[in-house]
Amino acid sequence: MAIAGAGEFEREIKRLFLTSGDEIRAVPGDMEGEAGGIIPLILVQYRPPMTRLARFIYFLPAAAHYGFIFYLSSQSSFPLKAPFNEFDKLAHFGLFSLLGVLISFGVFKTTRLPLRKKVLLVLVTGVTLGLLDEVHQSFVPFREPDVLDAAADAAGIALGLFAYWVIWQAQVKNARAKAVDRRDDKKSIPRDP
């Protein structure tokens, strides 16, 4: 059954709520509407799937940063004089905090997983990379793996994930507020009869 004006309604929804690159698809609902048995439309926002190249680009900063960490781990001694005894723990924490932000950026931008699975994916990936860094250090002369370094790596990943999540939540809240503002602005414009 066709709904009179459905095309115009769909165009208005697109104009009010979608950003460039988004599409909207009208899907017949499964319940009858209140007025005369009209099947309502369920409007869903649709984003085309990402290409492999786009996904690769989102993870490129994390890969480059881990390459830098790998390079530093390959050195037999730290290039700078440590200002205090446990400085390497602080260095691990800082480097892996940034890695946590970059991995989160890639995961949150490229996957459509629920939030819990995104968080788990970031944590498992980051902790695994931290453990691989410690294993790698065991093969470097004058270096040895350390459980406290691995703990600092994991804590850094968790902090980086949390920092990215705070930024991401602010972006989502801002986008929702803009959508409501656009909708309210459109409603306040008088229309010719």
For range 4-16, the mean pLDDT: 59
The residues pairing with 43 across neighbouring beta strands, listed in sequence order, are: 26
Instruction: Say what the pLDDT of residue 174 is.
Output: 86
- Report residue 26 as tokens: 């009208």
> Is pLDDT above 80 for 187?
no
Question: CA 122, 124, 125, 131: dihedral to nearest 10 degrees?
Answer: 140
What is the per-residue pLDDT across 108-160, written as a single tens digit (0 to 9) for each? 999 889 999 999 999 999 999 999 999 999 999 988 899 999 999 999 999 99
Note whether 58 and 110 are within 8 A (CB). Answer: yes
Question: CA 146, 151, 155, 158: dihedral to nearest 10 degrees?
Answer: 110
What is the per-residue pLDDT across 41-74, written as a single tens digit (0 to 9) for each? 444 555 667 788 888 899 999 999 999 999 999 9
Angle made by CA atoms 32, 33, 38, in degrees to the nearest 5: 85
pTM above 0.85, yes or no: no
Alpha-carbon separation of residue 124 from 37, 116, 153 (angstroms): 50, 12, 12
Q: How many residues does the chain have?
A: 193
**What are the b/e assignments for 33-65, b being 16+ CB within 10 Å?**
eeeeeeeebebeeeeeeeeeeeeeebbebbeeb
